[in-house]
């Protein structure tokens, strides 16, 4: 079956001599793995740069329900990103978020249009942000919860599920603001506080979604701090 869809690239790995397998969250088919043939060949007319993390593509897919690995027939840029891959802080946050997002999407094999719309709009806003950039990953992970069935609609829910962490009044207020404010919220906080808040969010998802600790976490910490 041929499916036309937008898709958000999360990662890719080399496959064979000239191809790749890309992990992509698509609007029409949900999360999946796709072969892109000959993209690493010297004769390829398309650049592998199309498959950088958080790139938003227009896709033509060959989808067969009995297969775990699908194929991409055609692709082109849907929305050019100008800053995410050039800025060190943004690119580090992107690598971290695409790793966590991939883990959270393991159960999203079927379409989730509302989640897709949220993710695409968030990426577009992130690319354009000029303030509050270092808070984006916290806000994204807080705001995405309801679309995945993990209702972080109240910060008390978040902290009550992580017994080891008892928030101070200040931390509670900061987290509540991060959840409710728009991207770009430029609240200055100490490095230790930001670390506590991120650990709390990750523990929440480790508890409810059973995800493992992100390998890119330490890289993110070293860049932001």
As a three-state string, the secondary structure of 37-87 is: CCCCCCCCCCCHHHHCCCCEEEEEEECCCCCCEEEEEEEEEEECCCCCCCC
CB contact at 8 A, 139 and 58: no
Q: Tell me the C-alpha distance between 35 and 15, whole Å.
A: 8
pLDDT at position 89: 95
pTM passes above 0.75: yes
Domains in the chain, CATH or no CATH each: 2-79 (2.40.50.140), 88-224 (no CATH)
Mean pLDDT of 37-42: 88
pLDDT, averaged across the chain? 88
CB contact at 8 A, 9 and 33: no
Q: How does pLDDT run across 98-133, given as a tens digit for each residue?
A: 999 999 998 767 889 999 999 999 999 999 999 999
> Residue 159 pLDDT > 90, yes or no?
no
């Amino acid at each position: 079956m041929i499916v036309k869809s937008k898709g958000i690239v999360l990662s890719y790995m080399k496959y064979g001599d000239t191809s790749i397998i890309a992990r992509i969250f698509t609007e029409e088919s949900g999360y999946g793995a796709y072969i892109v043939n000959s993209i690493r060949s010297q004769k390829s007319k398309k650049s592998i740069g199309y498959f950088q993390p958080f790139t938003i593509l227009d896709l033509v897919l060959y989808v067969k329900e009995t297969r775990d690995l699908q194929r991409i027939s055609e692709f082109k840029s849907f929305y050019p990103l100008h800053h995410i891959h050039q800025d060190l802080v943004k690119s580090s946050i992107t690598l971290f978020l695409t790793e966590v997002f991939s883990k959270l999407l393991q159960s999203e094999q079927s379409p989730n249009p509302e989640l897709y719309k949220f993710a695409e709009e968030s990426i577009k806003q992130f690319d354009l942000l000029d303030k509050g950039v270092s808070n984006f990953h916290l806000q994204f992970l807080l705001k995405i919860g309801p679309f995945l069935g993990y209702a972080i609609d109240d910060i008390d829910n978040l902290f009550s599920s992580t017994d080891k962490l008892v928030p101070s009044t200040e931390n509670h207020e900061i987290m509540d603001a991060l959840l409710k404010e728009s991207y770009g919220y430029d609240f200055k906080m100490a490095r230790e506080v930001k670390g506590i808040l991120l650990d709390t969010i990750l523990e929440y998802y480790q508890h409810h979604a059973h995800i493992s600790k992100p390998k890119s976490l330490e890289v993110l910490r070293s860049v932001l701090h």
